[in-house]
Amino acid sequence: MKLELDEARRLTGPNLLWDKPGAVVDVLLDEVAPQAVADAWRRWSVQLLEAFGWQAESTARLYPGGANLAIAAPMDALYTACEVAELIWQCAVAELQQVAVPDWQSRLNELHSELQEELNPRLMALISAATEHGVTCLVDDDELSLGMGASVDIWPVGELPAVSDVDWSKYRDVPRAFITGTNGKSTSVRLAAEIGSAAGFNAGVTSTDFIRVGDAIIDRGDYSGPGGARMLMRDRRTGIAFLEVARGGILRRGLPLDKVDAALVTNIAADHLGQYGINTVEDLAATKFVVARALDDDGVLVVNADNALVVQQAKTLDNTLCWFSLEEQNELVQAHIGSGQRAVFLRDGELVYHHAGDEHNYGAAADLPMTFGGTARHNIQNALGVIGLCHALGLPSEAIQAGLHKFGSTADDNPGRGNRYQLENCSVVVDFAHNEHSMRAVVDMVAHMPANKRLAMFGHAGDRADKEIQDLTNAVADLDASAYIINELEDYLRGRELGDIPALARDCLHARGVSDEQIHVVPDPLSGTKLALELAQEGDLLLLFVLDQREQVHQLLSELSLA
């Protein structure tokens, strides 16, 4: 039998398993009854946690080939909790393998000594008092903060004040929202921030690309997890916050904040399956919808009525919902309109928000710069979702109108998402789409844009399965382009050899009737961009899926652009 410990890590916020802080071990299983593993985990959790002086709280999530096994623990003891969880697992494995159980009591005694260095009574007292006072308290390894934005105070965890020395009345929260989903997250947070700015707020954003307050980029990188959220909420300039929440952060640590005023789920589609035991799109949907746990009774969850997985998951919740749809006649939208609840939809090509019998018309979707004259259906959906989100936050309709019409698809507005460049003899669209759902959306947009001929460039990371690479290539092949440029991604081979992915993509294109003369293989995206420009003729449209060298490609196209 296989009983392998894969990873132990801390859980710091509400997560897929439960809302408690603690530790989780991911384990790989084979030739063993999963329920027997869960039962052994629970038995040994009770025995060891009680012996350690902690409440005996544990849980188990089973999935084919593995399990997530967790224990609850105090916030100032999470590193020790990981060690305790590993010990519980060792005892459970010994029982299941019918071998001698390790001397767990001696190990607990060692851990109890180590725990004394980790414990921080002042930190726990401040967390408890913050809850009593309704004040936001954020904690990491180095610092504790109270309040948000302009009211925030921050202390090193080793220099915390006594509860009695804190002026609890000074702290305020800022309006804040989570944005999650498979695709459209970054576009949605940026559009929402544009609207927040139009409403007079200094809008903060966390995303997979950067963390920003107003026009100031604090840092570049993936800040879609708890660290980015803490950094943004601790910035005194932040007046309203739009937080991109990715699957990985939820699974690794949990939600970055315990409470938000509103949340948006853009869509759910297959992407990054097979990690942390998330093996199906239904598992992925459940993970994304953890954001709903941060909403109180007044909070609004904005959800996509056109996405079956979103609908399925949303219907299981008691949260106040705002449905959005490209179709006014969508039955969920119609039910909300009939009952005076929230809905956002297209009516004769115009964006309409409905609530309690009142409607606001934001005009033709085709007039929004981000929709490319209405061809970018995915960005119309993003706009609908953000309209619902901003209404849920109480932002004025005038600001929503202004933000919608100001936000564009330049690399400054929305880097890597549908960026258009007008060159002397051709047009270029650059996008970072890298899963089938998003690539099909971009291909559909480009297919509806006027062009003499269309050319496409794409590449795939090596950690995709062969079937995924075929599906992604088929998505691009739907463009019926005159030429296909396949770029290698040498830094993202992830176990494959150079040439493997182009060979798979070439075979797939051949099966779609694409000739060898139409297929070109290049070493990297920048080389592919230069080749596409050489091949382009008057009136052509180039679609470049750029997963690496984005800045170099942008620089090249900017230098050649007429605008």
Region 317-325: mean pLDDT is: 97
pLDDT higher than threshold 80 for residue 309: yes
Q: Do 367 and 222 share a domain, yes or no?
A: yes
Domain end position, chosen among 379, 406, 433: 406
Q: Is residue 100 part of a domain?
A: yes
Residue 563: per-residue pLDDT: 63
pTM for the model stands at: 0.90
Calpha distance 120→109 (Å, rounded): 19
Q: Do 315 and 191 share a domain, yes or no?
A: yes
Q: Is residue 229 part of a domain?
A: yes
pLDDT higher than threshold 70 for residue 272: no
pLDDT confidence band for 270 (50 / 70 / 90): confident
Residue 170: per-residue pLDDT: 97
Q: Is residue 413 part of a domain?
A: no
Per residue in 427-467, pLDDT (tens digit) is: 999 998 888 989 999 999 999 999 999 999 999 988 888 98
Please state, rounded to an integer, the average pLDDT across all residues of the chain. Answer: 95
Per residue in 99-148, pLDDT (tens digit) is: 999 999 999 999 999 999 999 999 999 999 999 999 999 999 999 999 99
Q: What's the number of domains the chain is made of?
A: 4
Q: Identify the domain containing residue 44 by its residue range.
A: 2-118
Q: How far apart are the first and last CA of the chain?
A: 64
pLDDT confidence band for 493 (50 / 70 / 90): confident
| Phi, psi (rounded to 5 degrees) for 541 | -125, 125
- Burial letters 232-258, b for 16+ CB under 10 A, else e: bbbbeebbbbbbbbbbbbbbbbbbbbe
Q: Do 228 and 320 share a domain, yes or no?
A: yes
Q: Do 390 and 520 share a domain, yes or no?
A: no
pLDDT higher than threshold 90 for residue 61: yes
pLDDT higher than threshold 80 for residue 341: yes
Calpha distance 40→38 (Å, rounded): 5
pLDDT confidence band for 406 (50 / 70 / 90): very high
Q: Is residue 141 part of a domain?
A: yes
Q: Is residue 412 part of a domain?
A: no
CA nearest to 53, candidates 26, 81, 25: 81
Q: Is residue 16 part of a domain?
A: yes
Per residue in 471-489, pLDDT (tens digit) is: 999 999 999 999 999 999 9
Domain end position, chosen among 52, 83, 118: 118
pLDDT higher than threshold 90 for residue 54: yes
Calpha distance 399→414 (Å, rounded): 19
Q: Do 88 and 145 share a domain, yes or no?
A: no
Collapsed DSSP state (helix, strand, coil) of residue 5:
strand
Relative to beta strand 342-347, strand 350-355 is antiparallel
